[in-house]
Structures are given as structure tokens and as C-alpha cells.
Amino acid sequence: LTVGVLAETAAGERRVALDPSAADRLTKAGRVVLVESGAGTDATFEDAAYTAAGAILTPRTQIIAKSTIIPVMRFPDAELLKALRSGQVLIGLIDPMNNLTAIADLATRGVTVVALELLPRTLSRAQSMDALSSQSSAAGYRAGIVAAAAYARYLPMMITAAGTATPAKAIVIGTGVAGLQAIGTLKRLGAVVTGYDVRAASRGEVESLGAKFLTSSVAQGAGAGGYARAMTDAEKKTQQGELARALVDFDIIITTAKVPGRTPPELVSAATLKSLRAGSVCVDLGSSDKGGNVSGSVDGKTTVTAEGVTVIGAGELASGLPASASQMYARNVLAVIASLAPKNVIMVDQTDEVTQNVVVSFDGAITNASVRNALK
């Protein structure tokens, strides 16, 4: 069984889907690992670390031709998509609901597509495969660092001979995996932190980190799979009004609110941005090509408003912590490989709950029910 490790091609992507320590585990278990030269360089993993782990440096086209399993960070580029063939297994955070046509084509060509976003995350057996959590965790931690670096003042209270600095007031909107990590980082840096979520159930997690909890009058129980459900238009209006009034008081705003498969809710409006103090910083983890949680945020770009507020579009912030994020991701990939190929062949057990969800296509057909419905 051959596993191929390719350099990621998306602009700004610094992670790699398999790090040398995961390669080492695979080769020790008798698998062949082929690596494209430079695949891990941006994540600080040199070619020599892979070859020391028993992997074989191989040209990209040959890796694509020879590998049974190809783990990737993101949806493949056109060249890789075109080259994939029957019997190969593509594993990654491939955003299936936004790539339906290409996935239908891969299915027809007999490619097995594994979309890590579709993992039933609350099942304990799935937790070692939970790449959304590992990457959200890296992104959330990094968001705290990025916010602090962009903020022109101290985060902690400083009492010095030259005077006293008041601590920064930070709010993290959306207290899922990323949000809780952002709160932890900002607390460690000394800011006074508030966590805000529409899931009332997250209060305990936020308070256990020593942050205050704020919620909305339209706070809700969690929807399917523990996620926030999409709000009605009237609920959104109420929530946004309440939030806008609260936000004027904060120096740092980190937003992490996503609702799976949908455009992210706008939580910091243009009017709210205008009301913030000059020097305030917004880091938008919800940013994507479909918009973000902060009005006008552009994914991958930093902008400064006319009022002097810095807005950082940071939809792929885990890539800013490439070594740790790749290492965690590779552990998730290893767990998926162990589940799909416990011996030296791929076995897709369609009675298994994890497999039913995470395997989108197999044997020429779309096997995941929600992707099949979306394609109708």
C-alpha cells in the first residue's frame, strides 16, 4: 500500500498533509511512502527528515501515478484532480459541499473520496481523526497571537515607573474549538477576555478558562452534531443589534462563527466597525471567498478602515502554524488510514457509522447521503 505526499499548491498554504513522524510510522508498518521534494519545507520538514523516516523522494507525477492513498490539506488543484484514477483514495479537508461537481466526477471515475469535514465528531472513535478540531485548535491559538501582534498597545495591565497601561479588552465570538483556544491564548497574554456564543451550553467552557461569557437573547441549544443551527432572519437581526451595542467596548475582536455549508453570518457590521476605537483589531477566522464574520474582511488580507481599525481576514489561519498544524493533521490522517486500510488493502465498510459519513464516494458511486442529496 503506497501513500503519496505532495506539496500543497494553494496560494499561501504552508502545511503538508503528512509529516516525517507520520511517514516513519507508516514505513515501520510496512507501507511505502513517496514524498515530493520540498513538500514539507514550508512547514519546516526538510526532505532529509522524510528520507530518514524511510520515505522515498519521488517526482510529483510519479507519486500521483503510483500512490493508492493521497492525503491532502485542501481540495486538489486541476492537475491532480485530472490525474486521479480508479482505486485511488483521496483524503482531506476538501470542502465537499462547495466542490460537488468535481466530487461527482471523481466518483464516476472510481476515486474514493474521504472528506474529513463530514466526520461524526462526537463519536469517540472518530476523535483521533477529527481534522476540523486539530486545525481549528491551531487557528484559534494563532488568532490570539496575530491579534496581539497587530495591536499597538500592551495586552496585560502594566504598572511601570513610566506610568500604567490598562489591559486590552478582547472578545471572542463563537466559542467552539477555535474560539476556546483563542480565549486561552489571549488570557495567557494578559488581556481581559469575554467569550460570546449563541450556544448557551458553551458558558461553562468559557468560564472555566477565566473569561466572562456573553450570549444573546436568541441563545439556543445546539443543533445537529453539536453545531449552532442557522438562525431565522428575525433572530439574526436581534442578535446583530445586541452584539453591535456590546462590541463598541472592545479593543480586540476575534470571530470564529461558521455554520456548516453556508455563508458565514456577518457579526461585525460596517456600522459596528465605524463605532470601534482607532487601533482596535478584528481577526476574522470565518473569512472565506464567500465573505466573513466581519464586514469587508478579505481572506488572507489585512485592511485598515478609515477609522483606523485593523481587519485581518484569516480563514486559513492554521497554515500560519504550519509545523504543529501539519503534525496534528498527519495524526488524523494516520487514524483514517488505520480505519480504512487496517491490513494492506482498502476496505470500505459501509455499515460503519464513521465510514458512512466520511467516505463520500466509493466504487463508482456517491456513498455519503448528504452529498448525494446535495447533488440531486
CA distance 372 to 113: 13
Residue 257 found at the interface with ligand NAD (CB under 6 A): yes
Q: How far apart are CA 71 and CA 256, in angstroms?
A: 26
Q: Tell which one of 4, 144, 176, 292 touches ligand NAD (CB under 6 A).
A: 176
3-state secondary structure of 13: coil
In the complex with ligand NAD, the residue whose CB is nearer, 201 or 248, is: 201
Please state, in angstroms and rounded to a whole number, the distance separating the CA atoms of residues 256 and 8.
Answer: 24
Residue 256 interacts with ligand NAD (CB under 6 A): yes or no: yes
User: Virtual CA dihedral for 170, 173, 176, 181, nearest 10 degrees?
Assistant: -20
Closest CA to 111 of 68, 72, 74, 79: 68
The contact mask relative to ligand NAD for 223-252 (x = CB under 6 A, - = no) is: ---xxx------------------------
What are the angstrom distances between the C-alpha of 90 and each of 29, 55, 108, 132? 20, 19, 14, 17
* 178 belongs to the binding site for ligand NAD (CB under 6 A): yes
Residue 375 vs residues 51, 69, 93, 209, 370: alpha-carbon distances, Å: 42, 25, 19, 42, 9
Residue 336: CB minimum distance to ligand NAD, A: 16
Options 28-36, 47-55, 93-101, 128-136: segment touching ligand NAD (CB under 6 A): 128-136
Q: Which of 165, 259, 338, 346 binds ligand NAD (CB under 6 A)?
A: 259
Residues in region 205-224 near ligand NAD by CB under 6 A: 222
Q: How far is the CB of 118 from ligand NAD (least distance, A)?
A: 13
State which residue has the least CB distance to ligand NAD: 176
Return the active site residues: 121, 127, 130, 133, 227
Least Å distance between CB 97 and ligand NAD?
13
Taking CB under 6 A as the criterion, the residue among 127, 166, 263, 350 binding ligand NAD is: 127
Asked if 235 contacts 217 with a C-beta cutoff of 8 angstroms, the reply is no
Which grid cell is 98? 462547495
156 vs 150: CA distance, rounded Å: 15
Please identify, among the stretches 26-34, 108-116, 127-135, 158-166, the one whose residues bind ligand NAD according to the rule CB under 6 A: 127-135
Among 10-18, 146-154, 176-184, 312-320, the segment contacting ligand NAD (CB under 6 A):
176-184
Instruction: Decide if 250 contacts 283 (C-beta within 8 A).
Output: no
Q: Which is nearer to ligand NAD, 276 or 341 (CB)?
A: 276
Residue 267 interacts with ligand NAD (CB under 6 A): yes or no? yes
Spatial separation of the C-alpha atoms in residues 42 and 51, rounded to whole Å: 17
Stretch that binds ligand NAD, among 100-108, 143-151, 257-265, 302-310 (CB under 6 A): 257-265
Q: In sequence order, which residues have a C-beta less than 8 Å from that of residue 51 and are 6 or more positions away?
A: 35, 57
Residues near ligand NAD (CB under 6 A) are 121-122, 127, 130, 132-133, 136, 173-179, 197-199, 202, 222, 226-228, 256-259, 265, 267
